C-alpha cells in the first residue's frame, strides 16, 4: 500500500527532476520541476480530435495502457513492505501486464493508418521484445541469490553482504536503469526531444492522441519512470524499517531521476539500427550476473 502511494507521489515530480537536470546541465534556466505535470494537467482538460480512420480501439487503448502501468506498480514492494499484492512469480505478472499495455499502444498507433505511427509501433514492438529476456534473466538471478520467487521476498532478503554482491547489485542497477530507459523510450535508445523526426519511437506513436488520452499516456510514462526507480531503490532497501526505508526510497528515486537527466544530457542517441545490438548486450550482462551468482553459490 505504502509503496503504491509513494510511487504515485514520486511520479508527480520524476520527469520534472529529469527536465531540471537537463536544463542545469546544458546551462539553461529551464522550466520548473512541476512543468511536466502542468503540461499533463493542461492536456487532461482539453478536448480531443480523433482521426476518421481510427476505431474504438484507439479510444480505449490509452486507458488500458494507463491501467496496465498501475497494475504493474501494484506488485512493486517497498523493501519488506508488500505492494498492493504479492504472490510467487509476481514479476511475471508485472512484465506481462506491462506488455498488455504496450500491445494496446501499438495497435492504437496502427489504428490511425499513419506511416509515422506505424514506424514507431514497429520499433516499439521490436525493442521492447528484445529487452524482455534481460529482465527475466535478471529476476531469475535475483531469485537464485535469495531462493525466492516474488518481488517482496526477493527484495527483503537481498542483503549486500559481500563485496561481490555489490558488484552484482551494481550490474542489476545498470540493467534496471537501461530497461527503464528503453521501456520509456528515452536516451540512448530513443530521443523524445526530436519531435516529428524519423528517429523516434514512442513519441511518434502517440502523434494522433490528444486531450485526456494524451494526458493519460504522458502520465503513464511518469509512472513507469517512478516504477523502475522503485525497483532500483528496492535493491538497496532490504528489510529496513519503514521510517528509514521511505526517505531512502525517495532519495534513491531522486538520484535515479538525476542520473536519467545526466544520461539524457551527455549521451547521444544510438543509430536506430544499432539499438538492437545494445539491447541484446543487456541480456548478456544479465547472464554475466547469473554466472557471478553461480560462482558464489559454488
Partner 1 sequence: MSFIGIYLLTLLAAIMLVTLLDSRGKGVVAVCGIVALSVISSVPAVNALMGQPLNQLFHGSFVTGPVQVAIDPLSAWFILVINFTMITSVLYGRRYMEAYHSRRSALSLHWVSFLLVHIGLIAVCAMRNSIAFLVAWELMALGSFLLVIFEGNKVTTIRSGINYLVQSHIGVALLTVAFVWVAAVTGTFDFSGIVQFATLQSPTACFGLMLLFFIGFAFKAGFVPFHTWLPHAHPAAPSHVSGMMSGVLIKIGIYGILRMIVLIGTNYLAVGYFILVISVVTGIYGVMLAIVQHNLKKLLAYHSVENIGIIGIGIGLGCIGMGYNCTPLAIVGFAGALLHVLNHSLFKSLLFYGAGNVYQATHTMDIEHFGGLIKRMPRTALLFLLGSLAICGLPPFNGFVSEFIIYSGLFSGINASFSNASILIFVFAMAGLALIGGLAIMCFTKAFGVVFLGEPRAKLHTEPAEFGFGRLLPMYMVGILIVVIGLFPQFFINAIVSVLGQMVGVSASAPILPASFGALSQIGWYMAWFILLVVAVYAVRSFFTRRLPESEGGTWGCGYVALTPKLQYTASSFVRTYRRLAKGILLINKQKTKVDGIFPSAASYSTEALDRVETDLIKSPLRMVRYLLGKFSFLQNGRLQNYILYGLLFVVLVLGLPFIVQAVRIFINYLNTL
Site for partner 1 in 77-136 (CB under 8 A): 85, 87-89, 92-93, 95-97, 99-100, 102-103, 106-107, 110-119, 121-123, 125-126, 128-133, 135-136
Pick from 7, 18, 137, 237: which binds partner 1 (CB under 8 A)?
Answer: 137
- The residue written with cell numbers 511475471 in the block is 92
C-beta closer to partner 1: residue 34 or 93: 93
Pick from 34, 148, 238, 258: which binds partner 1 (CB under 8 A)?
Answer: 148
CB of 1 to partner 1, least distance (A): 14
C-beta closer to partner 1: residue 173 or 200: 200
Q: Which residues contact 295 (CB under 8 A, 6 or more apart)?
A: none
Pick from 208, 217, 223, 246: which binds partner 1 (CB under 8 A)?
Answer: 208
Pick from 27, 45, 163, 268: which binds partner 1 (CB under 8 A)?
Answer: 45
270 scored as a contact of partner 1 (CB under 8 A): no
Q: Which stretch binds partner 1 (CB under 8 A): 6-14, 29-37, 67-75, 256-264?
A: 67-75
Q: Which of 229, 247, 248, 226 is nearest to 70 (CA)?
A: 226
Pick from 13, 14, 66, 151: which binds partner 1 (CB under 8 A)?
Answer: 66
Q: Which residues contact 184 (CB under 8 A, 6 or more apart)?
A: 202, 221, 224, 225, 228
Q: Which of 162, 140, 171, 147 is nearest to 235 (CA)?
A: 171
63 scored as a contact of partner 1 (CB under 8 A): yes
Nine-digit cell string for 32: 520548473
Residues of span 25-44 touching partner 1 by CB under 8 A: 44
CB of 224 to partner 1, least distance (A): 15
Residues of span 168-197 touching partner 1 by CB under 8 A: 196
Nine-digit cell string for 120: 514507431
Q: Is 55 helix (H, G, I), strand (E, B) or coil?
A: coil
278 scored as a contact of partner 1 (CB under 8 A): no
CB of 164 to partner 1, least distance (A): 17
Please name the residue ranges forming H helices in 115-210.
115-146, 151-157, 163-183, 202-205
Check if the beta carbon of residue 185 is closer than 8 Å to that of residue 203.
yes
Q: Which of 72, 75, 78, 79 is nearest to 88 (CA)?
A: 75
Sign of CA dihedral 278, 282, 285, 291: negative
**What is d(CA 254, CA 17) in angstroms, rounded to the nearest whole number?**
8
CB of 149 to partner 1, least distance (A): 5
C-beta closer to partner 1: residue 109 or 252: 109
Nine-digit cell string for 81: 513492505
**What is d(CA 252, CA 31) in angstroms, rounded to the nearest whole number?**
23
Pick from 12, 67, 259, 296: which binds partner 1 (CB under 8 A)?
Answer: 67
**What is d(CA 248, CA 242) in angstroms, rounded to the nearest whole number?**
10
Residues of span 209-238 touching partner 1 by CB under 8 A: 211-213, 216
CB of 67 to partner 1, least distance (A): 4
Amino acid at each position: 500500500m505504502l509503496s503504491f502511494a509513494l510511487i504515485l507521489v514520486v511520479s508527480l515530480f520524476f520527469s520534472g527532476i529529469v527536465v531540471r537536470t537537463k536544463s542545469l546541465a546544458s546551462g539553461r534556466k529551464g522550466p520548473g520541476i512541476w512543468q511536466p505535470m502542468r503540461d499533463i494537467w493542461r492536456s487532461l482538460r482539453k478536448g480531443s480530435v480523433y482521426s476518421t480512420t481510427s476505431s474504438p480501439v484507439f479510444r480505449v487503448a490509452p486507458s488500458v495502457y494507463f491501467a496496465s502501468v498501475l497494475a504493474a506498480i501494484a506488485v512493486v514492494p517497498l523493501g519488506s513492505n508488500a505492494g498492493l499484492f504479492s504472490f510467487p512469480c509476481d514479476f511475471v505478472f508485472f512484465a506481462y501486464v506491462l506488455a498488455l499495455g504496450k500491445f494496446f499502444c501499438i495497435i492504437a498507433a496502427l489504428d490511425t493508418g499513419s506511416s509515422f505511427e506505424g514506424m514507431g509501433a514497429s520499433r516499439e514492438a521490436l525493442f521492447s521484445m528484445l529487452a524482455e529476456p534481460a529482465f527475466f534473466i535478471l529476476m531469475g538471478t535475483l531469485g537464485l541469490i535469495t531462493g525466492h520467487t516474488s518481488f517482496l521476498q526477493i527484495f527483503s532478503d537481498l542483503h549486500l553482504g559481500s563485496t561481490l554482491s555489490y558488484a552484482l547489485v551494481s550490474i542489476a542497477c545498470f540493467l534496471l536503469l537501461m530497461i527503464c530507459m528503453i521501456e520509456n523510450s528515452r536516451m540512448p535508445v530513443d530521443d523524445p526531444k526530436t519531435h516529428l523526426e524519423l528517429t523516434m519511437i514512442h513519441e511518434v506513436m502517440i502523434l494522433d492522441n490528444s486531450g485526456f488520452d494524451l494526458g493519460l499516456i504522458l502520465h503513464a510514462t511518469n509512472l513507469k519512470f517512478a516504477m523502475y526507480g522503485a525497483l532500483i531503490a528496492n535493491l538497496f532497501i532490504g528489510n529496513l524499517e519503514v521510517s528509514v526505508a521511505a526517505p531512502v526510497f525517495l532519495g534513491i528515486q531522486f538520484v535515479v531521476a538525476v542520473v536519467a537527466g545526466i544520461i539524457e544530457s551527455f549521451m547521444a542517441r544510438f543509430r536506430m539500427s544499432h539499438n538492437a545490438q545494445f539491447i541484446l548486450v543487456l541480456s548478456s550482462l544479465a547472464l554475466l550476473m547469473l554466472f557471478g551468482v553461480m560462482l558464489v553459490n559454488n
